[in-house]
Amino acid sequence: MTTAQTATQTVDRLIVKKPGGFDRLELSREAPRPLAAGELRVRVHAAGVNYADAMVRRGLYKTAKKYVGYPLAPGFEVAGDVVEVGEGATRFAVGDRVIAVTLFGGYTSELNVHESFAFALPEGWSYAQGAAFPAVYMTAWMALCELAHPRPGARILVHSAAGGVGTALVRLGKILGLEVVGVVGSSHKVEVAKAAGCDHVIDKSTQDLWKEAERHAPKGYDVVLDANGVATLGQSYAHLAPVGRLVVYGFSTMIPKTKSGRTNWLKLAVDFLRTPRFSAFDLTDRNRSVLAFNLSDLFERKDLLVIAMRDLFGWVAEGRIPPSEPRAYPFSAAADAHRAIESGMTTGKLVLVPSHA
């Protein structure tokens, strides 16, 4: 085992001791954990922020309780330098710049991660760009490449097309040769969606969403990608073409935007009851499919991770996936980052930056 520098005395972690509002994100200083066989110690320079992290903070992310339990640090992705290599780890050396994925725990200044979950940071990318990459692109790859399998020329509808996952879906859609109709919730997001590659953009703040959706696809969509939940799920299904596929990967509209970041349990219960249920008889009769996934529940599927990263980094190398330009927040402003991502007004990705970076 080798190290490039004096051992770190403490590790800064942003933890949630008990689920709740924005004030539940607390800075904790802890002793570093010894490396296990096959692990790398990564000094984190940027950690990705995802909407799922806000659900972890609220206590609404089932797999956080299932795999870790509270207290825990949110976060699924980081970028930084390898500072120590554990016994049996051979893929990286001290000093290598890497992107790493983790099942929670990414809001930290140092991360121990098995080398199979680390990948070389693309040449010319910043740490912030690296930390903004894996979660959204793995989600987009899973939705399109593993589940939906649209043929070249297929027409797809992407909700929240200017967000982190949304722009990733749009870019992968164009790589796969699809016609992409994107939906945004504010006029300032239209150009972001167009820049990502949308052939058509529907601004639902000024346009009738489903009237416009029908205008662009009178016979329906081959694939609709929906993380909104109750607000759009029923109509997303209704606007599928024959043999169309609805891919569900979130339920964001069930969570109200509040100043405190606390959960309105009554609204959550009402929206749960209002969420469409899909009948096997109706699916068969209409020749439609509903597909769904939770990326964190697939963490043990290393076979899918390897295939996804092979495809994604291949497209990066070809220049078909450009680096994003995420908005960075210091660890001390983590609550502001969560406020921003829950506001629905952000575009692209957000990252957190530890004090040492």
- Verify cis geometry, omega within 30 degrees of 0, for the bond prior to 134: no
Domain ranges of the chain: 2-133+323-353, 135-297
Query: What is 2-133+323-353's CATH superfamily?
Result: Medium-chain alcohol dehydrogenases, catalytic domain (3.90.180.10)
Q: CA-CA distance, 61 to 66, in Å (whole number)?
A: 9
Question: Residue 7's pLDDT is what?
Answer: 55
What is the rounded CA–CA span in Å between residue 47 and residue 297?
Answer: 20
| pTM (2 d.p.) | 0.94
pLDDT score at 306: 92
Q: Domain 135-297 classified CATH 3.40.50.720?
A: yes
Phi-psi bin for 46: left (phi > 0), alpha (psi -120 to 50), beta? beta
**Tens of each residue's pLDDT in the chain, 357 residues:** 444 444 568 999 999 999 999 999 999 999 999 999 999 999 999 999 999 999 999 999 989 998 999 999 999 999 999 999 999 999 999 999 999 999 999 999 999 999 999 999 999 999 999 999 999 999 999 999 999 999 999 999 999 999 999 999 999 999 999 999 999 999 999 999 999 999 999 999 999 999 999 999 999 999 999 999 999 999 999 999 999 999 999 999 988 778 889 998 999 999 999 999 999 999 999 999 999 999 888 888 989 999 999 999 999 999 999 999 999 999 999 999 999 999 988 999 999 999 887
Task: Give residue 3's pLDDT.
Answer: 46
Structure-token pair, residue 255: 């969570």
Distance CA 145, CA 157 (A): 15
Q: How far apart are CA 139 and CA 259, in angstroms?
A: 28
The predicted structure's pLDDT at residue 257 = 77
At 75 the pLDDT is: 97
